[in-house]
Amino acid sequence: MTEHTDSNEATQCPLCGKPNECAVAAGRDAGSCWCMTVTMSPSALASIPAEAQGKVCICARCAAGVRAAD
Ligand SMILES: [Zn+2]
């Protein structure tokens, strides 16, 4: 699987590929993003691919430490 969807990359969770519902990626105010009110799981943050770190948001489910594929 080597699909490249440039326009959607910022809105997809790099861990599970589902919509991350990031307010910033959607063109809304960062303060309205769900990520401002949750605590990110350290293990989830650590599993973000290096090329995606600092660029792509993960989704709420992954941020909470829930694994998509278990
Ligand atoms: Zn996710």
Residue pLDDT, tens place only, 18-39: 999 999 888 999 999 999 999 9
Separation of CA 41 and ligand 1 centre (Å): 12
Q: Rounded mean pLDDT of the chain?
A: 85
The domain ranges of the chain are: 17-70
Separation of CA 44 and ligand 1 centre (Å): 9
The whole-number pLDDT of residue 49 equals 93
- What band does 6 get if pLDDT is binned at 50, 70 and 90? low
pTM of the full predicted structure? 0.75
Q: What secondary structure letter does DSSP report for 28?
A: S
Separation of CA 36 and ligand 1 centre (Å): 16
Query: Who's near 65: CB < 8 A, 6+ residues apart?
Result: 41, 43, 44
Separation of CA 1 and ligand 1 centre (Å): 18
